[in-house]
Amino acid sequence: MEVPDIQYTRSGDVAIAYQLVGDGPVDVVWFRGMAGDLLSTWDQSLIVRHVTGLAAFSRLLMFDKRGTGLSDRVREAPTLETRMDDVRAVMDAAGSERAVLWTAHEGSRTALLFAATYPERTAGLVLLEPSVRGTGSSDYPWAPNEEEWRRRLASVREGWGQGTFFAELLREWAPSLAHDDAFRQWFIGHMRRSLSPGAALSFFRTMKEADVNDILSSVRVPTLILCKPTLRPEAEYVAGRIPGSEVAELPGLSGLFTWVDDEVHEQTMRENERFLARIGRPKEPDRILATVLFTDIVGSTKRSAELGNAAWRALLEQHHALVRRRLGQFDGAEIDTAGDGFFAAFDGPRRAIECARTLVQDVRSLGLEIRAGLHTGECELMGKKPSGIAVPIGARVAAKAQPGEVLVSSTVKDLVAGSEITFEDRGLHELKGVGEWRLYAVSEHLVSE
């Protein structure tokens, strides 16, 4: 078939390359788990059949993630939140209101975060062997441990870009084609075009820290998980935490790619077609994933007594105007204002942190000090107002913050892995009525590159 034209859209100030294939009744957004390059994809007939197979019963939107392929290279390591923004930007550019997201491995974390945050735009998820946590733990033993990560990062740092390094990756990712000279040459060129050595190292560092385990129960869209039989326990772990999800085994799958083997490819397409056929129009979502921000002025009672009612009201008006201006800048929604405090909600944790950090600095120009607390969790929608357990958790986190401090829950910290934001561990705290949580203070300084 004729190669579709490369198109570009902007996600913030980053250009994202994408293509449209097919004209089926359902939109499917396909993005690679790690690396990808749109142009060299079309040079490999095996992966092209995956593209045309999906496009046979959908309108397929495929794109290069920021920092990969034809999309802009970026200075900062992309976070799950910025990758989620890229998905939304491509959908907007293509006029897609709702789509099924199709991805694999580490890419599943972006898809899961998107589905929990924008359920009204997510028709469903197809996840191939999803990884939801970067570093292994007692209850999630499938991810590398710290020592394994140390060796992996050292290997990427020393070898990425070299033919011998990619040949070794090929033996792991597609063992049946490891000795196919033509495929090996294509694979080496494809990987070199996908990620530069520095971008690859940043990607692996982000994946080590990124963790979406806490938000799985907030995903409430139809979800199909594909896996080889040996990885069924990990697939069941993820499926057991996503209401209504299902697992389908691919018995012949070896390595990472479903499109390498004829039988596996055909079974994958059958499972996809069956899954897409049963997706109906969902009801309007009554739950979303949101990051809630609470702020309040430190020592407000004492300050109001010192200034008197009229002067205090004037100062509060300046404070409120400043907060609302910053909420607009960082795409936050004002939910409530009680006295000198604000309750706001964001669709991304990094934007919420940046807003809070900016506000702490801004209000000092008014001679004020604030404290701020953030938590990311599932919220029920009562009209446009979020409610549910995430709200009191955010309020309790804020109550633990020191003057001039932005304090976040462990969930927030895990979701901004890979960003330049650094944290200081404030230890475990018993939050009244909502249990024990590990809290982190946002540092004043950024990660030094």
What fold characterizes domain 7-132+212-278? Answer: Rossmann fold (3.40.50)
More confident residue, 280 or 255: 255
Q: Name the E strands within 332-410.
A: 333-338, 341-346, 370-382, 385-387, 406-409
Return the pLDDT at 22.
Answer: 93
- Residues 350, 362: Cα–Cα separation, whole Å: 18
pLDDT digit string, tens, across residues 101-129: 999 999 999 999 999 999 999 999 999 99
Q: Tell me if residue 275 falls in helix, strand or coil.
A: helix
Q: Residues in the chain, how many?
A: 449
Helices (H), 118-261: 146-159, 163-173, 181-194, 197-209, 232-239
- Beta 370-382 vs 333-338: how paired, if at all? unpaired
Return the pLDDT at 277.
Answer: 86
Return the pLDDT at 382.
Answer: 63
Range list for CATH 3.30.70.1230 in the chain:
287-446
> In this structure, are residues 9 and 88 in contact, taking their beta carbons and an 8 Å threshold?
no
First vs last C-alpha separation in the chain: 44
pLDDT at 448 over 50: no
Instruction: Report, in this order, helix, strand and coil percent for the chain, each rounded to 5.
Output: 45, 25, 30
pLDDT digit string, tens, across residues 205-218: 988 988 999 999 99
Q: Report the percentage of the chain scoring pLDDT > 70.
A: 96
How far, in Å, are 67, 168, 187, 431 from residue 165 at the CA level?
20, 5, 11, 48
Contacts by residues 351-357 (CB-CB < 8 Å, ≥ 24 positions apart): 351/81, 351/291, 352/291, 352/292, 352/293, 352/412, 353/406, 353/408, 353/412, 353/416, 353/421, 353/442, 354/330, 355/293, 355/326, 355/327, 355/329, 355/330, 356/293, 356/295, 356/406, 356/442, 357/406, 357/442
pLDDT digit string, tens, across residues 310-338: 998 899 999 999 999 999 999 899 998 87
How many Cα atoms sit within 13 Å of 248 on the Cβ side? 19
Q: Is 7 exposed, middle or buried (0-12, 13-18, 19+ CB in 10 A)?
A: middle
Return the pLDDT at 227.
Answer: 97
What number does CATH give the domain 287-446?
3.30.70.1230
- Residues 43, 376: Cα–Cα separation, whole Å: 42
Residue with tokens 């709702």: 98
Q: How confident is residue 287, by pLDDT bands cut at 50, 70 and 90?
A: confident
**Which helix (H) or strand (E) is 304 found in, with range?**
helix 300-307
Q: How confident is residue 280, by pLDDT bands cut at 50, 70 and 90?
A: low
Return the pLDDT at 285.
Answer: 63
Q: What is the mean pLDDT of residues 343-355?
A: 92
pLDDT digit string, tens, across residues 58-105: 999 999 999 999 999 888 778 889 999 999 999 999 999 999 999 999
**Which helix (H) or strand (E) is 358 found in, with range?**
helix 349-362
> In this structure, are residues 290 and 390 in contact, taking their beta carbons and an 8 Å threshold?
yes
Average pLDDT score, the chain:
91
Side chain identity, residue 151: R
Return the pLDDT at 177.
Answer: 94
Q: What is the mean pLDDT of residues 176-198?
A: 94
Range list for CATH 3.40.50.1820 in the chain:
7-132+212-278
Quick count: other Cβ atoms within 10 Å of Cβ 382?
Answer: 10
Q: Which residues pair with 235 in a beta bridge?
A: none
- Residues 160, 8: Cα–Cα separation, whole Å: 27
Q: How confident is residue 447, by pLDDT bands cut at 50, 70 and 90?
A: very low
pTM over 0.85, yes/no? no
- Residues 247, 264: Cα–Cα separation, whole Å: 15
